[in-house]
Amino acid sequence: MRHRLPGILASVALAAAASVAATPVSAAAAPSLDEVVVGAMTERSTAEGSRLASAGAGTEVNVQRKSRDGAWVFGSSVIKAPQIEGAYPESWLFVAKREASGWRVGLDGSPAFAELAQGAPREVVSAGEKTTFAANVGTQATATGLSLPYPVGASWRIIGGPHGWSGQPRPWSSLDLDSRAANRDVLAAQSGRAYSMCSNGGHIRVIHDNGWTTEYYHLLNEIQPAPGTQVRMGQYLGQTSTRIPCGGSAGSNHVHFALKKGSAWEPLQDKTIGGWTYFEGSSAYGGGARRGTATRYVGDWLENFGPETPGGRTFENLDDVQVPDLGQGESSITVSGVAGNAPSALSVFVDVHHGWRGDVRIDLVGPTGQTYRLKDPAPNDNGTILHETYTKDASGSPANGTWKLRVTDVDTNHSGYIDAWSLTF
């Protein structure tokens, strides 16, 4: 599907709000929260080279939580897109604090957001969100650990190869995917925290625990998550459609699926998602994906192999298993159809949540009982999420049989659970 931005977008006067927001004034004359957020969005959008703020399609400031005294606010904000090909809304989460001189606002991806999010009361930004936001600042993540946004084993058609969130402009971070079937369910590409960005739905952002963020647009019958709701990989988010809740266009049912690292759009070039590694074409919406010797182009079907590296087979367990304080939890995966022994570079993806992850020891147990240490306890590590991929030489164990992930809590006061894990051969 080809999209084009027009050469000239209509002009509107949003700069006034930005100017007001940047000028110290007395509390009595201070601009409203909406004005300050709109000013911050306009300034950010313009600084990033976008012309959307001057398109005149409107804005949204959606308050999702606030403190009892009204001094702290968390929400989403949107610059809407005109209903033309290639235009998509720009959206941010924000945290705001009312100070003597007026509202102080931080949009996600800014130092102000990081500072305000960490300082906000937990009724406004939860402890879990603080951890997730911190993990997405300055991330050095390379492997995505992401599935495609539909069931593992299913194949959807690529109707738009790597392109920008708004069509032609780089970075080319997005794919257009269509099931062309009765099942149009769009699923979370990995576990994380979900946020609805538009006031009337249709656009969901999932901030993952490993430094990546995925965006889903054109959703129909979508979930309506409370902000920061934890979702699991493969959880239903909505269905493909032609909805344009905050503007843009869609010629046929599809999901506009995009990748961010932290809060910045990330090129799909050389990224592996769903077992396929993507490449750009000579122009936006071209290109395709490779997996071993197989290549898929626009118009082809793309099977979802889950969050793995190219060329292997992935087996996973998505059921929660509790890890009690000073106790142990085990989650099993049964492997079949893999000849010979396990590889010398077995990939083990682990998603564990724990009140003090330094208390945790993690072992992989092979079908014959041989144990492979993945992680030792680290008493000073007070993080709460382990979202890691380990590589182990497991060639001493047969591939087929029951493998176990054993998570042991070695110190007092905290507990947790195994959220998901997988093996890639």
Q: Spell out the per-residue pLDDT of the chain, length 425, in tens.
A: 433 333 323 333 333 333 334 444 444 568 999 999 999 999 999 998 898 999 999 999 999 999 999 999 999 999 999 998 889 999 999 999 999 999 999 999 888 999 999 999 999 999 889 988 887 776 666 678 899 999 888 899 999 999 999 989 999 999 999 998 888 999 999 888 999 999 999 999 999 877 899 999 999 999 988 999 989 888 999 999 999 999 999 999 999 999 999 889 999 999 999 989 999 999 999 999 998 889 999 999 998 888 765 556 788 898 899 999 999 999 999 998 777 788 877 889 898 999 999 999 999 999 999 999 999 999 888 888 888 888 888 888 999 999 999 999 999 999 999 988 989 88
What are the DSSP calls for 208-264, one per residue? ETTSEEEEEES-BS---PPTTEEE-TT-EEEE-B---TTS---SSSBEEEEEEETTE
Q: Which domains are delineated in the chain?
A: 15-125 (no CATH), 155-303 (2.70.70.10), 314-424 (2.60.120.260)
| Residue type at position 212 | W
Structure tokens at 173: 């971070």
In this prediction, residue 254 carries a pLDDT of: 97
In this prediction, residue 4 carries a pLDDT of: 38
**Using the 8-state DSSP alphabet, how is residue 124 labeled?**
T
Which residues partner with 216 through β-bridges? 204, 257
Q: Which residue has the tokens 């905050």?
A: 246
Q: What is the C-alpha separation between 286 and 159, in angstroms, rounded?
A: 9
Q: Which residue has the tokens 């998509």?
A: 88
CB 43 within 8 A of CB 18: yes
In this prediction, residue 393 carries a pLDDT of: 86
Q: How many CA atoms lie within 13 A of 266 on its CB side?
A: 23
CB 178 within 8 A of CB 242: no
What are the DSSP calls for 393-422, one per residue? --TTSBSSEEEEEEEEE-SSS--EEEEEEE
In this prediction, residue 123 carries a pLDDT of: 95
Beta strands in 298-415 (DSSP E): 301-303, 314-317, 321-323, 328-335, 346-354, 360-365, 371-375, 385-392, 401-409
Q: How many CB atoms lie within 10 A of CB 170?
A: 12
